[in-house]
Amino acid sequence: MLSARLKPLWPPLLTGVAFIGLWYLAREIIAPERKFMLPSPHAVWIAFGEHHEALLSASFNTVIGALVGFFAATLIASLLAITLSLSGLIRAALYPYLMMLQMMPIIVISPILVLWVGAGLPSVATITFLISFFPLVVNTTQGLISTDRKLVELFTMYRADRWQELRYLRIPAALPYFFTGLRIAGVLAPIGAIVGDFSAGNSAGNGGGLGFLALIYSARFKMDALFATVLSGCALGFLFAGAIALISRLSLSHWHESYEKVDR
Amino acid sequence: MEPSPPFVRLQALRKKFGADSLVIDGIDLTVAPGEFVAVIGPSGCGKSTLLKMIAGLSPVSSGQLSIAGQSPDALDSELAYVFQEPTLLPWLNVSANVELPLRLRGIPAESRAKTVTRCLAQVRLREKATAFPRQLSGGQQMRVSLARALSLSPRLLLLDEPFGALDEMTRNHLNEELLRLREEAGWTAFFVTHSVAEAVFLANRIVIMSANPGRIAHLVEIEIPYPRRPETREDPSFQQRVAHVTQLLRSVESKAA
List the domain range (segments joined by +) for residue A153. 66-204+237-263
- Picking from B87, B91, B100, the nearest residue to A255 by CB comes out as B91
We report the CATH number of the domain holding residue A131 as 1.10.3720.10
Give dist(CA A193, CA B126) in Å, integer.
52
- A21 found inside a domain: no
Residue A130 belongs to some domain of the structure: yes
Mark yes or no for CB contact B83/A159 under 8 Å: no
Residue B221 has phi, psi (to 5 degrees) of -85, 135
Residue A10 domain-assigned? no
Average pLDDT of span A4-9: 67
Q: Is the pLDDT of residue A175 over 50?
A: yes
User: Which helix or strand (DSSP H or E) is residue A205 part of?
Assistant: none
Query: Could you give the C-alpha distances from B171 to A106, A112, B179, in angstroms and in order?
Result: 61, 68, 12
pLDDT more than 70, % of chain B: 96
Please give the Cα distance from B214 to B217 (Å, whole number).
9
**Chain B residues lying within 8 Å of A149, measured CB to CB:** none
How many domains, in total, are found in chain A?
1
Is A30 part of any domain? no
Q: Give the tens place of pLDDT for each residue, B155-188.
A: 899 999 999 888 999 899 999 999 999 998 889 9
Q: In the predicted model, what is the mean pLDDT of residues A200-204? A: 68
Q: Are B71 and B55 in contact (CB under 8 A)?
A: no
Give the pLDDT of residue B96: 95
Q: How many CB atoms lie within 10 A of CB B75?
A: 18
Taking a C-beta distance cutoff of 8 angstroms, is the pair B65, B13 a contact?
yes
Please report the sign of the dihedral spanned by the C-alpha atoms of residue B164, residue B170, residue B172, residue B177. negative
> Residue B111: which of B151, B148, B81, B82 has the closest Cα?
B151
| pLDDT bucket at A204, cuts 50 / 70 / 90 | low
Chain B contact for A152 (CB, 8 A cutoff): no
Interface pTM (ipTM) of the complex?
0.85
Interface with chain B: mutation pick from A151, A179, A252, A255, highest number of B CBs within 10 Å: A255
pLDDT score at A5: 56
Whether B2 has a pLDDT exceeding 80, the answer reads no
pLDDT band at B1 (very low <50, low <70, confident <90, very high): very low
How far is CA B173 from each of CA B9, B88, B139, B159, B169, rounded to the nearest angstrom? Answer: 31, 21, 9, 16, 6
Residue A252 has pLDDT above 80, yes or no: yes
Q: What is the pLDDT of residue A6?
A: 57
pLDDT in the model for residue B161: 93
The enclosing H or E element of A230 equals helix A223-252
Query: Does A26 score more than 80 pLDDT?
Result: yes
Contact A138, A181 (CB under 8 A): yes
**Could you report the per-residue pLDDT of A103-119, keeping only the tens digit for each?**
888 888 888 888 898 88
CATH of B1-78+164-257, one of 1.10.1370.40, 3.40.50.720, 3.60.15.30, 3.40.50.300: 3.40.50.300
Identify the CA nearest to A54 among candidates A198, A201, A203: A203
Contact yes or no for A153 and B105 at CB 8 A: no
8 Å CB contact of B104 and A153: no
Cα–Cα separations (whole angstroms), residue B33 to A45, B37, B153, B190: 83, 11, 15, 12
Tens digit of each residue's pLDDT (9 = 90 or more) over B15-44: 888 877 888 888 999 999 999 999 999 888
- pLDDT at position A198, please? 87
Task: Indicate the pTM of the whole model.
Answer: 0.85
Q: Is residue A122 part of a domain?
A: yes
Beta bridge partners of B156: B79, B188
A205 Ramachandran zone, left/alpha/beta (phi>0; psi -120 to 50): left
The answer to the question of residue A55 being in a domain is no
H or E element, residue A103: helix A88-103
